[in-house]
Structure 1
Amino acid sequence: MTRRDRVLAGLSFAFLLDEMATGVGGLDPLDALLVLAINQANIAPLTRDHDARARYGSLDTPAPDGARRPVSMNAVAASLGLPFETVRRRIRRLAAAQVCNLSAEGAVVPASFLASPSYIQSVVEGHERLRRFYREMDAAGLVEQLPPPAFDTDDIPIRAAARLLADYILRASEGLMREAGNVISLLALVALLAAALRDEGRADGHRRATSVRQIAMTLKLSPETVRRHGAELVEEGLCIRTAAGLLIPEEAFDRPGMRRLLAENAANVQRLLAGLAERGVIRAWDGA
């Protein structure tokens, strides 16, 4: 694990926590992950088509329902490492709220939701967080060489940037899931990593514990849920319990899994930035 990996992880896990806590279209973090996974599967064929990427890149042009490929509940459960019954129950609830459509072929996030005011607002706010994240990395000298733009556009393709961001969130979740074991523990681990790596810059070198209540409020979970999953992280040796709350100790960063997680994160961030550069987003940011 390099010093660069740790500094980059501090910025990126704080950013990831903000994204997960804010959700998509007002959804809670777990439902938001489900919607991201479903939508990314729906549009996977379109992301390999240059013309389709150009056609559906702006905020007011979501891909039409007929161009979306349904995904099965089994596939969604497998991709997120969730129990099938949890996914089935939540997707049926999302369908009742018209956040997704269900058919014999599977689930689809419809264009009506992707064009809704709540979703558009969450995308715009997420885009601003993404821009700040890039600025922070650039100021810290963490941005490596990026490819030139492959698209000629005068406007910032905000929807295209949102798809690239969703890819990053889902890829990051894979590594976090490997360490945490389930989605709720994953969310708690992100909060603890963000706090631990943030405190590396403190003059006294002291890491502050994060209270169960604070994590619960940030992630819109019950304190009992966070307490239970925090206990699982303690059992796995990923954090320790103190009088003030939960804390990731330095020795946890020496675990092979944690070293792998931070190295993968650095690669995933570079992939995100390369995609943004290729799509013309970073050129637009730098020219603003």
Structure 2
Amino acid sequence: MTRRDRVFAGLSFAFLLDEMANGVGGLDPLDALLTLAINQANIAPLTRDPEARARYGGLHAPAPDDERRPVSINAIAASLGLPFETARRRIRRLGAERVCVLSTDGVVVPSAFLASPSYLQSVMLGHERLRGFYVELRAAGLIEGMPSPTFDTDSVPVRAAARLLADYVLRASEGLMREAGNVISTLTLVALLAAALADEGRAGAAPRTLSVRSVAQKLRLSPETVRRHVSELMEDGLCARVSTGLMVTEDALARPGMRLLLAENAAAVQRLLSGLAERGVIRAWEAQES
């Protein structure tokens, strides 16, 4: 793995950790991931329609409920590697909180939630994190050739950017879950990877370590839950306990599965950036800078 690959991974995992930890609409990280997966499945047909993408790209223009395709709880559980009962229990609770609507056809995240103040605030905060991530990559010389915009817009298509970001989070989660085995272990591994690679490119930098408590606070999980999943990651050789805390070792980073994970993440980030460029988001950002 080249130094460029490591710097890229350090920036992207730090961004991914912030995105996962801050959730959606005030939801905890796991509920937020479920909501993202349901919503992305609901709008999958629309994302393949250029006219629909333009029509529902603005912050205050969620796709109406009658254009959303319901998805089964089983499909969502399978896509996230969750036990069916865990997904069912959490989705039913999300239904009671009006984050989603359950019917005999499946589950839908309704436009009412997607237009709620809490959701819109989380979208705007996520958008600023996304823009900051782009600026960091650009400053590090890690932005490659981007496609030309195919949409003409006078403003930043914030909701379109949010959909692209959600797609990235879910794609990145797939590879992470392949290595870590489940969602909570995945969240923990992202925190450890972000710390291990945080100072790549800085002279004399040493890998950072984390405590169980700091990971739990970042992810809004109980220390007991994090400790249990850290033990699983240690048994699988994905992290180790040293005198200063927990860390992802060089041996772990050199594993074939981990190298594949980093390569897949880099490809997913490139896909995200290309989508942002094609949708006109990057052009709008840079126009605001000039």
TM-score w.r.t. the length of structure 1 is 0.98
Question: What residue number does 2:159 align with?
Answer: 159
| Alignment deviations for residues 22-79 of structure 1 (CA, whole Å, 9 cap, x no partner) | 0000000000000000000000000000110000000010000000000000000010
Question: What residue number does 1:208 align with?
Answer: 208
Letter in 2 for 1:80: L
Consecutive unaligned residues in structure 2, runs of 5 or more? none
What is the 5 A alignment of 1:118-197?
118-197=118-197
Letter in 1 for 2:220: K
Question: What residue number does 2:5 align with?
Answer: 5
Letter in 2 for 1:239: C
112-121 or 238-247: bigger deviation: 238-247
Instruction: Please provide the CA RMSD for this pair.
Output: 0.9
Residue 199 of structure 2 contacts residue 206 of structure 2 at CA under 8 Å; is this kept in 1? yes
User: Deviation of residue 218 (structure 1)?
Assistant: 0.2
Q: Which portions of structure 1, spanning 4 or more consecutive aligned residues, are displaced by more than 6 angstroms?
A: none
- Once residues 167 and 153 of structure 2 are traced to their aligned partners in structure 1, the CA distance between those partners, rounded to angstroms, is 22
User: Deviation of residue 5 (structure 1)?
Assistant: 1.8
User: Deviation of residue 201 (structure 1)?
Assistant: 4.2
- Once residues 207 and 8 of structure 1 are traced to their aligned partners in structure 2, the CA distance between those partners, rounded to angstroms, is 15
Residue 3 of structure 2 contacts residue 200 of structure 2 at CA under 8 Å; is this kept in 1? no
- Once residues 71 and 7 of structure 2 are traced to their aligned partners in structure 1, the CA distance between those partners, rounded to angstroms, is 37
Structure 2 residue matching 1:199: 3-state secondary structure: coil
Letter in 2 for 1:206: A
- Count residues in correspondence: 288
What is the 5 A alignment of 1:1-288?
1-288=1-288
User: Deviation of residue 202 (structure 1)?
Assistant: 4.9
- Once residues 76 and 180 of structure 2 are traced to their aligned partners in structure 1, the CA distance between those partners, rounded to angstroms, is 18
The sequence identity of aligned pairs, in percent, is: 75
TM-score w.r.t. the length of structure 2 is 0.98
User: Deviation of residue 208 (structure 1)?
Assistant: 2.7
User: Deviation of residue 207 (structure 1)?
Assistant: 1.9
Residue 57 of structure 2 contacts residue 158 of structure 2 at CA under 8 Å; is this kept in 1? yes
- Once residues 266 and 143 of structure 2 are traced to their aligned partners in structure 1, the CA distance between those partners, rounded to angstroms, is 10
Consecutive unaligned residues in structure 1, runs of 5 or more? none
Structure 2 residue matching 1:63: 3-state secondary structure: coil
